[in-house]
């Protein structure tokens, strides 16, 4: 799956995302998503999607995990797992891809399903020719 992490570490990350998925708040779409972010120090920060009756205020599991990690003072991420029960493996939406890019342009994302399927992809595969902080003009 990934030459960088042993299989038991990948399993632990997927299990954390699956557990977070159970805490998702998705009364409108009924699409429950869990994410788990592996930090450089080996700790895991999780997130779940949280919907809102004002749909635009909904936040995805991936951004929930990243924002929680940032708020706790973490800036270095090693891998993210995203778990859904969808019939196909589900990758992060465009907004999440851009937020991931801000903090971890080389991140590996482990897409997983509740039925055991999984596939690792790079953010570069999901967001080619991406825009990041270095793209901004400096100065005036």
Tell me whether residue 129 is one of the annotated catalytic residues: no
Catalytic site residue from 62, 102, 125, 129: 62
Q: How many CB atoms lie within 10 A of CB 21?
A: 25
* Long-range interactions of 94-97: CB distance < 8 A, separation 24+: 95/60, 95/63, 96/60, 96/62, 96/63, 97/123, 97/126, 97/127, 97/130
**Which residues have a catalytic role annotated?**
62
């Amino acid at each position: 799956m990934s030459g960088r992490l042993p299989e038991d570490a990948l399993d632990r990350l997927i299990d954390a995302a699956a557990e977070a998925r159970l805490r998702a708040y998705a009364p409108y779409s009924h699409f429950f998503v869990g994410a788990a972010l592996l930090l450089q120090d080996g700790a895991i920060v999780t997130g779940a999607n949280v919907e809102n009756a004002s749909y635009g205020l909904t936040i995805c599991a991936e951004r929930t995990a990243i924002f929680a990690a940032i708020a706790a003072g973490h800036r270095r991420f090693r891998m993210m797992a995203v778990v859904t029960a969808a019939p196909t493996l589900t990758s992060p939406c465009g907004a999440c891809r851009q937020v991931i890019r801000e903090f971890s342009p080389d991140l590996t994302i482990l897409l997983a399903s509740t039925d055991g399927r999984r596939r690792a992809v790079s953010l570069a595969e999901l967001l080619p020719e991406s825009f990041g902080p270095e793209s901004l003009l400096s100065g005036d």
